[in-house]
Structure 1
Amino acid sequence: MMFPLCVYAAVILCSFTSISNGNVEQTVLRGVQTSLLSMYIPSKPFTCLDGSLTVPFEFVNDDYCDCQDGSDEPGTSACSNGQFFCENKGYLGTLIPSHFVGDGICDCCDGSDEYETTIVCNNTCFELTQKFQAGRDARRTLHEAGVAKKKEIIAKSKAITSERQEHFNELEQDLNNLENDLKETEKLKQEAEVLEYAAKEKNQKLWEEKRAIQQAMVRDQQIREIFVDLDTNEDSLVSIDELQKHTELDTNQANEFTVEEVRSILGSDSVNFNEFNTIVFEKISNSYQSSPEPTTPTPEPTPLPEPSIYSATTPSSILETHGYEEEEVTTTSSFYKDNEEENNNERDDYHESSSVSTSLEHEKHIHASLAPEYDNETKVLIQIADQARNEYNQLKEKIIQIKRQIQDFKKQSDVDLGPNSDYAPILDECFDYDEREYTYRICMFKTAKQISKGGSSEVTIGYWDSWSGPKDDKYLKMKYSNGATCWNGPPRSLTVTLQCGTEQKLSDVREPSRCEYTMTFETPLACDETIANRPLHPGHVEF
């Protein structure tokens, strides 16, 4: 069924309509977008828009599909892949699938898709225009208020940015000064440490020399004790039969401690003190055990031999060997003399098992002893070196901190903060969104986390990656990636959609796919000045 001519102006009349105006004739086709009218010229054959075929123009809108792309039937439902253009005059022109044409349902707000049916379509274009206008006015009002706050935020941000730049310049100057100071402090430290080291070395050497003297004296005492303990007949000699009693010295415990084995230790049938010192002592000192305390009364002791017998390792010779005067170790010498007097007066004490063990314990104590305190001069040098080290380390720590601040500033400077750095005010700022189980926290251009309200866990769902909006507005979305890996899944990631708002807040958080999160962030910084400057109630709307 054909409607009367000119029911709708321009593009939605008959298969084609001639409008005469003097000698001018213009043909307009139903269902063709205005931008494509130049491809449909009635006086010329029609070439399919995909270029696959050329047909006589009469084939256009003849209700038979000739073109593979359906472009020859823009006004009919003949082609399943064709598109019909609803002009929707006064509202937004739209494209609908051509098989919707004449299906008894009003798809175009002006009803032009049902031109051949008996269906009466109410023209709803005006109502849609009103709703569209109201929505656009509300959007414009929101952006107007948002832009006003955006300007305030950016003005404050610029002041902060200027302060940060000044601070950065100060940091670089401080770093330069501190590095110069560090070189001078390091030089002073090294000089103080040279003096400290020399003083410590001197003290260490003196202590080691004195300790060596003490050890030699203790060793001498130990040799005397063992010699006296072995010299049971008190003839100032240790003989084979005296040593043979100490079977613990037998290296081959399976057999008898033979005379030959004893002679191999002594080197002869008997040895005096000097020979015992030089030949025997080292062979038996580790295995020797003192004689048990006698069960019968001991005879009166005879006087010990003259000191000349033991002259090989007297304290005087030890002191001379190490370059010390005897009075330098008065205490040790006194100890030695007291013990010698005790040897002369109480001979039977050497037969007690405690005598040798006491000397052995004394020797262990000397080996295990710590160095004595440093003298006052050395202590002063140590204090000076410690102070120099502290000053050096403090300067070094300050330099590390300043370098870290400078590095952070440079990293922030490399971040793309949007056109004209509009998003600089929220750099490093954090925002939370609470739901029943978790708090979601995003720190702008850094990290995003999921925090359990039970306090049991904190999961990173992404690190700042890049802007990820569409090509025409990449600053519409933010991408955070490489978060904590899901169990048997991919690393977590987050997409943040920015929307104009009068406040800065997260308004929605979801997980549409496993380990892939989305957030909506409202901020005045996303408000568009172009939208804010549109007329609020225009006389007409250009679509």
Structure 2
Amino acid sequence: MLQSFIISTALSLLVNANVIGVSDDRQSLYQPQIDEQGNKYWHCLNDTSIRLSYDQINDDICDCPDGSDEPGTNACPNPPFKFYCKNEGHFPNYIDQFKLNDGVCDYEICCDGSDEYKLGGCENKCGEIHRQFEEYKNSKLAFMKKAGVKKQQTIKRAHNGRRKLREQLDSLESQVSELKAKINKLKLQSENLEERDESVFDQLREYFGGLADKLELHKRDILHQESKLQALETILNFLSTHYNPNFNDAAVKEVIHKFQEYVSNKEEEALEDIHETNQIIAQLAEKAKEMSHSGVKKVTHFTPSISNMIHYYYQLLTDKFLPKPVIEYKSDFSSNELDHEVEKLEQELEKLQAKIQGVKVNLSSDYGPEDILRAYEKVAITKNLGGYNYRINLLQGISQDDIFIGKFREYKDGKITYQDGAKCWNGPRRSATVEFTCGEGPELVSVSEPEKCHYYFTIQGESWCDAKTEKDLLNNFKINYDLL
């Protein structure tokens, strides 16, 4: 008994499984076992308690709950693996079981025709298909090589554009610094000019005003005294004309005589003198206005002390041996001209600062990997599709004939969005999305309108080509059935 078991085990190891639909690296899972009677048997892969006769594999009856007994048929609804096509001379592949033996030659997956092994009728085309693939691969690799060179040139232009913007920003910021210094200098000139143009009258204005006020007070006092004097004169005049000379009153006669002498010698110069004084003050004020002030400060006298003597001599020494630099800006402009020039330069400064902000926004914008869209800043992509002439400037906007579709908004997730186009009749404003694909270009290859007034553009060009693996090329490869 033991001897028979050892022999059966040895025989099972010598038997090689060759189950259709199973890849070479998984054939060991379908290795048959041999019992004492020499019968082949096999266990379901996910449930070894289920034992099947080896001829139950691929018998079009699903015996295992996991479907592992039917790798080469479509008998099980949920098979764990796909059908393996060996495709000798090309690349092995896997096909879904529901496509097996359906009368269709799926050469793009199973070029050897093994997916139709029961029905037949599908010749092995792997040799021709592989030849087509090699031609496609060589053509693509040659294109990708040229596209890579062109893409690097485009990236270089983009980097140069960014470098120029940085240089422009540095230049603008330098101009701003120079302009600010110039404005400050002109303002100092204006201040110095105002100080230099300050008149003696400006310095003595309060004294002129005080003197005029004082004279006015004196004038009122004089007029008051004059009023009293006139009243006294009236009394004396009445006395001199109505007294009785027959009384021979010596005192009265003396008073009248002195009054008459006073009247005959009276002068009308007091008020004239005051008037002339006012005129002199007015003339002095006008003259003072014409005279510039030297700016010399009045010397204040103080009582000497030890502390102020030390301060005085210290200041004297520092002023003599450590003189402070004095910057004096002189100008040939008048004060009004300086103010006008400052205003003009400040307007220029405002424009420069606006330019700087625009450049900073540009530099901080996302223009794709390697900043590549920057290379297309001045490039217009034009094409007639469907009877419409399209003009696309990637970083500005899109138009359809004379209709504006939208202006650049942002680059995100490999696409550009455009908004705020012309309003559609009885609809929203036009907008657009542009996506990119690898190819010769830049060229507009398709336009669609999936939503009302929202357009979808596809642009191809070398700038959007990336290195491809053989697997990538195989996935994109299309068979030319006319040659099969």
- C-alpha contact 1:480 1:493 (8 A) present in aligned 2: yes
Task: Note if contact 2:84-2:95 (Cα within 8 Å) is conserved in structure 1.
Answer: yes
1:32 counterpart (18, 22, 26): 22
Answer yes or no: is the 8 Å Cα contact 2:432–2:457 preserved in 1. Answer: no
Give the equivalent residue in structure 2 for 1:73.
70
Q: Which runs of 5+ in 1 are unaligned?
A: 1-19, 199-319, 325-382, 469-477, 535-543
- Rounded to whole Å, the distance in 1 between the matches of 2:68 and 2:352 is 69
Q: Which residue of 2 aligns with 1:182?
A: 183
Provide, for residues 181-240 of structure 1, a one-character-per-residue CA deviation record: whole Å limited to 9, x for no partner. Answer: 3344456668889999x9xxxxxxxxxxxxxxxxxxxxxxxxxxxxxxxxxxxxxxxxxx
1:201-350 paired onto structure 2 within 5 Å: none
Distance 1:182 1:76, change over 3 A: same
* Contact kept? 1:109, 1:123, Cα under 8 Å: yes
1:466 to 405, 412, 429: 412
The 8 Å contact of residues 40 and 46 in structure 1, kept in 2 or not, is answered as no
Who is 2:360 aligned against?
410
Where does the alignment leave 5 or more consecutive residues of structure 2 unmatched? 1-9, 34-41, 200-274, 280-332, 473-484
> Structure 2 CA distance, aligned partners of 1:64 and 1:490?
61
Aligned to 1:334: none
Deviations 1:280-335 (A, max 9, x none): xxxxxxxxxxxxxxxxxxxxxxxxxxxxxxxxxxxxxxxx9xx99xxxxxxxxxxx
Q: 1:488 to 1:531 in 2, by over 3 A?
A: same
Structure 1 counterpart of 2:417, one-letter code: Y
User: Counterpart in 2 of 1:144?
Assistant: 145
Which residue does the alignment assign to 2:58? Answer: 61
| Post-superposition offset of 1:175 | 2.1
Q: Does 1:507 align with 2:456?
A: no
TM superposition shift of 1:466: 0.7
- Aligned residue identity for 2:149: A
Match of 1:498 in 2: 437
Give yes or no for contact 1:449–1:459 (8 Å, CA) kept in 2.
yes
User: 1:164-183 maps to which residues of 2 (within 5 A)?
Assistant: 164-183=165-184
Q: Which has the higher helix share?
A: 2
What corresponds to 1:100 in structure 2? 99
Cα deviation, residue 179, structure 1: 2.8
Specify the alignment match of 1:401 in structure 2: 351
**CA–CA distance in 2 between the matches of 1:46 and 1:167?**
74
Distance 1:160 1:73, change over 3 A: same
Cα offset, 1:460, TM superposition: 1.0
Distance, in Å, in 2 between the alignment partners of 1:499 and 1:182 is 54
Distance 1:103 1:524, change over 3 A: closer
Query: Counterpart of 1:64 in structure 2: which amino acid?
Result: I
Give the 3-state SS of the residue equivalent to 1:511 in structure 2.
Answer: strand
Q: Percent identity?
A: 24
Cα distance between partner residues in 2 of 1:67 and 1:461: 62
Residues 169/114 of structure 1: CA separation in 2 closer, same or farther (3 Å cut): same
Secondary structure at the aligned position of 1:78 is classed as coil
Structure 1 contact 46–60 (Cα < 8 Å) conserved: no
Could you tell me how far apart the structure 2 residues matched to 1:145 and 1:179 are?
51
AA of the residue aligned to 1:129: H
Q: Separation in 1 of the partners of 2:384 and 2:465?
A: 25
Contact 1:508 1:519 in 2 (8 A): yes
Report the TM-score when normalising by structure 1: 0.48
Measure the CA separation in 1 of the matches of 2:71 and 2:91. Answer: 18
**Contact 1:508–1:520 (CA<8 Å) still a contact in 2?**
yes
Number of the residue aligned with 2:455: 517
CA contact (8 A) 1:450 1:460 kept: yes
Distance in 2 separating the partners of 1:167 and 1:177: 15
User: Any idea what SS the aligned residue of 2:341 has?
Assistant: helix
Give the 5 Å matches for 1:35-50. Answer: 45-47=43-45
- Tell me, yes or no, if the aligned pair for 2:437 and 2:465 is still in contact at 8 Å: no
Q: Distance in 2 between matches of 1:395 and 1:69?
A: 84
Q: Secondary structure at the match of 2:409?
A: strand
Normalization by structure 2: what TM-score? 0.53
Per-residue deviation at 1:128? 1.5
Aligned length: 323
Which residue of the partner structure matches residue 432 of structure 1?
Answer: 382
Work out the CA distance in 2 between the residues paired with 1:407 and 1:37. Answer: 68
1:178 alignment partner, SS class: helix
Give 1:440 shift. Answer: 2.9
**Which residue pairs with 1:373 in the alignment?**
none
Q: What letter corresponds to residue 61 of structure 1 in structure 2?
A: N
**SS of aligned partner of 1:498:** strand
1:122 aligned partner:
123
Matched residue SS, 1:463: strand
Q: Per-residue deviation at 1:131? A: 1.8
Higher-Rg structure is 2
AA matched with 1:497: F
How far apart, in 2, do the equivalents of 1:195 and 1:437 lie?
A: 76
CA contact (8 A) 1:440 1:448 kept: no
Distance 1:29 1:407 in 2: 71
- Separation in 2 of the partners of 1:104 and 1:76? 14
State whether residues 73 and 97 of structure 2, in contact with CA within 8 Å, keep that contact through their aligned partners in structure 1: yes
From the superposition, tell whether residues 404 and 92 of structure 1 become closer, same or farther in structure 2 (CA, over 3 Å). farther
RMSD: 4.8
What code does the residue aligned with 1:498 have? T
Distance of 1:68 and 1:499 partners within structure 2:
46
Residues 63 and 73 in structure 1, CA contact (< 8 A), matched pair in contact too: yes
Counterpart selection for 2:398 from 449, 456, 461: 449
Alpha-carbon contact 2:90-2:127 (below 8 Å) kept: yes
Question: CA separation in 2, counterparts of 1:140 and 1:86?
Answer: 27
Q: CA deviation at 1:60?
A: 4.9
The answer as to whether partners of 2:436 and 2:464 remain within 8 angstroms in 1 is no
Match of 1:391 among 321, 341, 352: 341
Question: How far does residue 481 in structure 1 lie from its aligned partner after superposition?
Answer: 5.0
Distance 1:493 1:419, change over 3 A: closer
